[in-house]
Chain A
């Protein structure tokens, strides 16, 4: 598989994709929250689609493109979406944010028209236990405006 554009080899195909990304590759933006697909903290893109990396066998990602929050932008070079999360102070404890940003990035890449409802639906698989959803949604909507009127 390719992770954030770089070919990766030598992992256990029967391991969870989550463990390969965090422990094998050191991508700590991929968080394990619940480990049963309910919190969305471990969300990554698999060929552009958001998935819970705790519920994917690493071998099932063979030959496919995996993108984590680190692949969207770096601290020195934030993506426009990540920049909006900073500008909106769209985080409290921050644990859920990498997964939220990945789900939001998939929505912005796919949706022709972005609305508050569509953002809430797109983020429905990501739990924020600080319950700071309003700012998360505002940040994604601002990024959508930025996307549509660059």
Chain B
């Protein structure tokens, strides 16, 4: 196999310059390459600028002031999970369910965003933590909210020569992530859900829900968020119905639209806190059924 041209800039500045270079008009950035090597090399032999050899690359995770967590977009996601700085639970849970150990040692957060799959595992946790992307290009740096970058299946608003440097996550009190796939490892999400909120007693505030694989992009769910004021079964059931107004699922090779709608409602209903009547035995039975 004759491979593409692969350049490996050793500095962030060099990477940015090479991507802008006229010689790289057909070029594109690459990091983990776990999607590119499968889908990206069939039609043309592109010029690739590898973002994984930069000696001045940022650490996988940094804690900034104001509780903001800055996560590298070019580090392997296993390095993010192993970093000594904690990350929001929703992102940690999504990483744990992402593909396989081998893929986690190569794939990057930036790649998962730029690939722009509606089923991307790492994107819903970014949406519920109000993630802001740090982008770089020869024209300079800019910051863009995650929701402004996702344009459609496989499409982003990234400009030519622009690459994702880091992702800033805002602090949340509680967060989590669940996905349904055909099996636990190496499965593309049939439906996924990330959530975050703050709690005062039993009342929820700042509720954010983001669903995957039920619309052309990962989507926030404002109707369900408004309904989810506490975690009682009745309130959660209302939110589980309201979420149908927030999504536009399709039939495809992995599932029918009706299944996605029902399954997403199921994921929302499972947010309900266990009631006092549910003993430990009943709870463990419920969890066994769910896993």
Residue numbers of A with Cβ under 8 A of B are: 12-16, 19, 36-38, 40, 43, 46, 49-52, 54-60, 62, 103, 106, 121-122, 124-125
Contact = CB atoms under 8 A, between A and B. Distances in A.
Contacts of B37: 16, 37, 54-57
Q: Interface majority SS on A: helix, strand, loop or mixed?
A: mixed
Interface residues of B, number: 29
Interface in B156-184: 184
Contact of B3 (A14, A46, A62, A103): A14
Nearest to A47: B105
A141 to B, nearest CB: 18
B1 A57 contact: no
A12 B101 contact: no
A60 B101 contact: no
Interface stretch (B4-12, B224-232, B274-282): B4-12
B6 A50 contact: no
A121 B99 CA distance: 11
A127 to B, nearest CB: 8
Ranked 6 nearest A-B pairs via Cβ: A14-B3, A125-B100, A124-B185, A49-B105, A15-B3, A59-B6
Given A37-B38, A124-B184, A125-B185, A51 B3 contact: no
B106 interface: yes
Nearest to A42: B102
A41 B238 CA distance: 47
26 contacts: A12-B2, A14-B6, A15-B2, A19-B1, A37-B38, A37-B100, A43-B102, A49-B78, A50-B102, A51-B102, A51-B105, A51-B106, A52-B102, A55-B34, A55-B37, A56-B33, A57-B3, A57-B30, A59-B6, A59-B8, A60-B50, A103-B102, A122-B101, A124-B101, A124-B184, A125-B102
A59 B49 CA distance: 11
B105 A50 contact: yes
Given A14-B4, A57-B37, 18 more contacts: A13-B3, A14-B48, A37-B34, A40-B102, A43-B102, A49-B78, A49-B105, A50-B101, A51-B102, A51-B106, A55-B102, A57-B50, A59-B50, A62-B8, A62-B53, A124-B100, A125-B99, A125-B100
B64 interface: no
B107 to A, nearest CB: 9
Contacts of B52: 60
Nearest to A43: B102
A103 B1 contact: no
B57 interface: no
Interface string B9-48: 0000000000000000000001011100110000000001
B103 interface: yes
B184 A55 contact: no
Nearest to A124: B185
A106 B105 CA distance: 12
A56 B5 CA distance: 14
B186 interface: yes
Contacts of B186: 38, 124-125
Interface string B100-126: 111101100000000000000000000
